[in-house]
Structure 1
Amino acid sequence: MSVLGGYRVLDLSIAMAGPLATMRLGDLGADVLKIEPVTGEWQRRTAAGGATGNKVNASFLSLNRNKRSLAVDLKQDSGRDLVYRLAARSDVFLQNYRPGVADRLGLDYESIRAVRPDIVYVSISGYGESGPYAHRPGQDLLLQGLTGALHSGGAADGPPQPGPYFVADAITAYSAFEAVLAALLHRERTGEGQRVSVNMLDAMIAMQMQELSVRTVGGVRQRRGHEIHAHTYIRAPYGIFPTRDGHLALAFADLTVLAEEFGDPALAAWDAERDGFTHREEISRAVAAHLLGDTTESWLRRLGARGVWVGPVNSYEDVLEDPQVLHNGSFIHYEHPTEGKVTTPGFAFRMDRTPPELHRGAPTCGEHTTEILGELGLPAGVIEDLFVNGVIA
């Protein structure tokens, strides 16, 4: 049996942070019911990187496997009543509405707890549910900027650069996933449910524990490096360096070893621990000049054999063919009714006894509406009336 087999999750979230958290719960066997509007969640139709798909885009497919879809109009009393009835049979209720929206819909913690006292109720927001920023839009780029993460990216002579992926959404999703598991464990031990609040602001600050502590504990001010060496929290040489035919990632290199490999005794005169911060640019420029003299593959072989921490800078095409990625089975594949063969990133961890698994692909809108309402005991005639009146789809 899956580790979360027998648990039910009501997922009223949209975009990335909420859906990614609930998908991880589904990967562990929870019955995740995606409650979406009768027209479908907006992300079904919003192209991600231009990948529109046939009827469902790549982003939605990547965030909604292992879920069943119930399409319902929550603005109608009969629609909300269906959610209350489902909540009474559920273990987790998760939403990422802007602060105040759940209250207006009658889907706040107290309303849901009234029908299921031991519910684990999860609210995901951008900045917290109160305070001066509570009603600002909680978007990934904005949170990178607010929390200082964006200010660390890029070169000193250029503008701050954001991360190339939605890091704020991702860390918030994993924080919510972690919090749900902790709350369920508490309920197993005590019988108590609880309200869980997760916000992108706190998640992003917690993620930067080392970088922010350099400032708060060590008193070192934040700064950006030059193009070769953008990460200023780690001694040089550290960064992405151009080679004759591409780029090389190099970290924590012994300067004596590099001096021997490059045939450059002057490089060994620098002490990495003493000079790696105060003379980072000179060291980085010297290393960069040597690395331009050979190919990436050659440096991987030569420096790797000397114990230097080096790696390739792969494109996504490279990642898909990487032998370790293939060995790990890092991607999952399945057939989707409208999109054909789908390949998406798989599971972030392994478990010997109760591993995460693919139970079903991302649902079509309302694919399981009749099935879910039938499990509530609603007669076929009542379900048909709900369809006719536009309450469900």
Structure 2
Amino acid sequence: MTTDRPLLDGITVLDLASVGPAVRASRWLADWGADVIKVGPVPRDADVHITPPAYAYSAHRGMRRVLLDLKSDGGRSAFLRLTAEADVVIESFRPGVVDRLGIGYEALRAANPGIVLCSTSGFGQTGPRAHWAGHDLNYLAVGGYLHCSGRTADGGPALPGATVADSAGGGLHAVAAICAALTARGTTGEGTHLDVSIADGVLSLMSLAVDEYLANGTEPGPRHGLLTGRYAWYDLYQAADGGWLAVGAIEPRFFANLCRSLDCDRWDRPPVRRRSRRRHAGRLHSGLRRPKP
């Protein structure tokens, strides 16, 4: 995103996270102008711990850093003093850990009534799965994303090329919730505790499939959706030279242009009836995948 000024200038964020969606959220907030202070643990030994350069740039760019022992009275007091001057705290501990450390929402609110605490976790702070551990792949599986994705040569679900759950399911939802909470605070003067579940975020990414199921009972699956390969005008095709073409021609005029450019004019008007559409899509798939002599 490009802006003419830092949109979050003047906002201070304390980041307690080390990996996952919360790290991505704080990085985006820093990119948008927030003053992000990365709060890390004090090393247990005298060795110098150096974060790998690529990860340090990706996760910590544009941030300041402080080391605190939150299990000690001094470290806890120092963190609460920082909270008194901050706007947002982001954490990704297991549910209940911040309360045991004495830095849960009630303790933070006592230090700063306007503080926004954003807790990110796999399955939320409450409920039967709250204490389940997981990684990006697990949340994509639970949320149905992998079931509707492409397939490998042996027919199994394909691994995505990016951490979709951590980034889109968790990080972006955390950023949106934080910005909404800061907007509300401008009216009420009060902060809030945000509970961001990565698995819930993944399910929201599947809204088109869920909506279709609720509307007509069509169960989602691989290549079943308008944008996941059901129709020939939105799909991937291997060319004669071994490369791949990404065809996204949903609009009739774009699809007609595509067919004409490929000398496939007879296919440039998709039929209206659903059964005919599927037969048409099958013929087009075969035609586009057949190398020209």
Name the CA distance, whole Å, in 2 between partners of 1:278 and 1:128.
Answer: 44
> Which residue matches 1:285?
286
> Which residue matches 1:335?
none
Cα deviation, residue 109, structure 1: 0.7
- DSSP 3-state at the match of 1:22: helix
1:180 is matched with which residue: 178, 181, 185? 178
Matches within 5 A, 1:307-322: none
| Structure 1 residue 140 corresponds to structure 2 residue 136 | yes
Work out whether residues 271 and 280 of structure 2, in 8 Å CA contact, stay in contact via their aligned partners in 1: no
2:13 is matched with which residue: 1, 5, 9? 9
Cα deviation, residue 20, structure 1: 1.3
Name the CA distance, whole Å, in 1 between partners of 2:72 and 2:219.
Answer: 53
> Which residue matches 1:199?
197
Q: Partner amino acid for 1:158?
A: G
Residue 243 to residue 184, structure 1, CA distance change in 2 (3 Å): same
> Which residue matches 2:23?
19
Describe the superposition over 1:299-352 as per-residue Cα deviations: whole angstroms up to 9, x where unpaired: xxxxxxxxxxxxxxxxxxxxxxxxxxxxxxxxxxxxxxxxxxxxxxxxxxxxxx
Residue 114 to residue 264, structure 1, CA distance change in 2 (3 Å): closer
Work out whether residues 10 and 92 of structure 1, in 8 Å CA contact, stay in contact via their aligned partners in 2: yes
In the alignment of these two chains, the number of paired residues is 278
* Percent of residue pairs bearing the same amino acid type: 32
> Which residue matches 2:69?
73
- DSSP 3-state at the match of 1:284: helix
Residue 55 to residue 104, structure 1, CA distance change in 2 (3 Å): closer
> Which residue matches 1:92?
88
Work out whether residues 39 and 65 of structure 2, in 8 Å CA contact, stay in contact via their aligned partners in 1: yes
- DSSP 3-state at the match of 2:161: coil
Name the CA distance, whole Å, in 1 between partners of 2:119 and 2:265.
Answer: 59
Residue 277 to residue 99, structure 1, CA distance change in 2 (3 Å): farther
Work out whether residues 243 and 293 of structure 1, in 8 Å CA contact, stay in contact via their aligned partners in 2: no
- DSSP 3-state at the match of 2:216: coil
Cα deviation, residue 218, structure 1: 2.8
Residue 73 to residue 80, structure 1, CA distance change in 2 (3 Å): same
Describe the superposition over 1:70-100 as per-residue Cα deviations: whole angstroms up to 9, x where unpaired: 0122122211111011111111111011112
Larger RCO, structures 1/2 (Cα 8 Å, 6+ apart): 1
> Which residue matches 1:209?
207
Q: CA RMSD in A?
A: 2.8
Structure 1: gaps of 5 or more residues: 46-53, 295-393
TM-score with structure 2 setting the length: 0.85
> Which residue matches 1:251?
248
> Which residue matches 2:165?
168
Cα deviation, residue 264, structure 1: 4.5
Q: Partner amino acid for 1:56?
A: P
Describe the superposition over 1:6-45 as per-residue Cα deviations: whole angstroms up to 9, x where unpaired: 22111101213111111222222221110011239xxxx8
Q: Partner amino acid for 2:289?
A: A
Residue 251 to residue 72, structure 1, CA distance change in 2 (3 Å): same
| Structure 1 residue 159 corresponds to structure 2 residue 160 | no
- DSSP 3-state at the match of 1:248: strand
2:52 is matched with which residue: 34, 52, 56? 56
